[in-house]
Amino acid sequence: MINMSQITLNADQIRNPKMENKKLNIAVLHGDGIGPEIVEQALNVTKAVCQKFGYSLNYEYGIVGACAIDATGEPYPKATHELCMKSDAVLFGAIGDPKYDNDPSAKVRPEQGLLKMRKDLGLFANIRPVSTFPSLIHKSPLRADLVEGADFMCIRELTGGMYFGRPQGRSEDGNTAYDTCIYTREEVERILHLAYKYALQRKKKVTVVDKANVLATSRLWRQIAQEIAPQYPDVETEFMFVDNAAMRIIQWPKSFDVLVTENLFGDILTDEASVITGSMGMLPSASIGIHTSVFEPIHGSYPQAAGKNIANPVATILSVALMFEYAFGMIEEGALIRAAVAASLDAGVVTEDIATDGKLYKTSEVGEWIVDYISK
């Protein structure tokens, strides 16, 4: 049976009053590559908000990804999982390392840690808001009239599908490989209910993305969506094949409100959607579910930039805004972080990926500017 009370809690969390005890308890997972640099700036923003609003902040560090493999042999150690479980929220960077990316024969990989974290924490939904900043419209690869005012939410199912389906592997001779895509009714129902509940808080439109003309799993998604849609009569429902959705995101991004889809399709479509905002370094996400929620940028570990203090910290900082809203029900605090980010963009305090003219700012300088804005 679907735990509807849990789904309602997660979807309506942003309307909750502020926590009465004013104590925030978070786990901090740097991960690999640029993770330590961007997460520390996001943590500084968290500290600044807590100080401004009078909250007590407790945080502990954990390891995940390549750094965890190097230290323990496991990409998601038991100690890290226990830390996440006892925390109210997880602030996470990114994982990945070239020494594993370039070794197809590696038995243990950083990405296995991310998948295990999602599975063990019950993180069945990844929420990725896609919106544009007026000062960055010119950085989008699309015409300004197409992206200006674009504001939609992608909800990606996170614990099912091909990434977790079994059997999975290669034949003994190594010449054949196979992955299995599996979805159950329960998995599909809970993500669809979540999408409809978010749509009720927005523009009341849900786009269900599938490939029902080819895939059996997609036909299950569409069948269940057709059964659930009448339960939300105030919400418009449309069905769209994934290839059409990929074109529509480019052709008419403002036509979407809440887009919901399975794991693999969501992974691809949300990366595509991130680019229309001007930089992948601008898009935050929230992974929510049964236990502790995880807040992270959608970009990867960018190992080429690791240690150079040049990576864009904004997506991670905006993930902190989602953390205040979704994990703690603190709307004003999330809005302040977004206002600080918008002000930094307007002032041209940006890293090299989105700079046009003028000075290029370091990762730490962008973070410090945003902290100063919040602290005023």
DSSP notation for 140-151: SSS-HHHHTT-E
Nearest CA among 99, 19, 52, 96 for reference residue 326: 19
Q: Which residue stretches of 137-257 are H helix?
A: 144-147, 185-200, 216-228, 242-251
Is position 196 annotated as part of the catalytic site? no
Is position 211 annotated as part of the catalytic site? yes
Ranking 103-107, 165-169, 359-363 by mean pLDDT, the lowest is 103-107
User: 70, 243, 346, 372: which is the annotated catalytic residue?
Assistant: 243
Residues 96 and 32: beta-carbon distance below 8 Å:
yes
Comparing 200 with 14, the larger pLDDT belongs to 200
Is position 271 annotated as part of the catalytic site? yes
User: 47, 88, 271, 362: which is the annotated catalytic residue?
Assistant: 271
Question: Is residue 117's pLDDT more than 90?
Answer: yes
pLDDT digits (tens, 9 = 90+) for 309-328: 999 999 999 999 999 999 99
Beta-bridged to residue 258, according to DSSP, are 153, 206
Q: Which helix (H) or strand (E) holds 30?
A: strand 23-31
Q: Which helix (H) or strand (E) holds 205?
A: strand 205-210
Q: Which helix (H) or strand (E) holds 28?
A: strand 23-31
Residues 27 and 59: beta-carbon distance below 8 Å:
yes
Residues 361 and 349: beta-carbon distance below 8 Å:
yes
Give the pLDDT of residue 21.
Answer: 65
CA distance 334 to 202: 17
Give the pLDDT of residue 48.
Answer: 98
pTM: 0.86
Whole-number Cα distances in Å, 101 to 106, 113, 217, 307: 9, 14, 29, 19
User: 97, 100, 211, 257: which is the annotated catalytic residue?
Assistant: 211
User: 59, 203, 267, 362: which is the annotated catalytic residue?
Assistant: 267
pLDDT digits (tens, 9 = 90+) for 226-246: 999 999 999 999 999 999 999
CA distance 106 to 341: 40
Give the pLDDT of residue 20.
Answer: 55
Nearest CA among 269, 217, 218, 278 for reference residue 248: 269
Handedness of CA 98, 102, 108, 109 (dihedral sign): positive
Question: Is residue 166's pLDDT more than 80?
Answer: yes
Average pLDDT over residues 273-280: 82
The mean pLDDT value of the chain amounts to 91
Residues 262 and 221: beta-carbon distance below 8 Å:
yes
Question: Is residue 127's pLDDT more than 60?
Answer: yes
pLDDT band at 6 (very low <50, low <70, confident <90, very high): very low
Proportion of the chain above pLDDT 90, given as a percent: 76
User: 163, 232, 302, 361: which is the annotated catalytic residue?
Assistant: 163
Contacts (Cβ under 8 Å, ≥6 apart) of 42: 91, 313, 316, 317, 319, 320, 367
| Terminal C-alpha separation, the chain | 49
Residues 227 and 219: beta-carbon distance below 8 Å:
no
DSSP notation for 35-100: HHHHHHHHHHHHHHHHHHHT-EEEEEEE--SHHHHHHHS-SS-HHHHHHHHHSSEEEEEE---HHH
Is position 353 annotated as part of the catalytic site? no
Comparing 311 with 358, the larger pLDDT belongs to 311
Average pLDDT over residues 151-175: 93
Average pLDDT over residues 281-294: 91
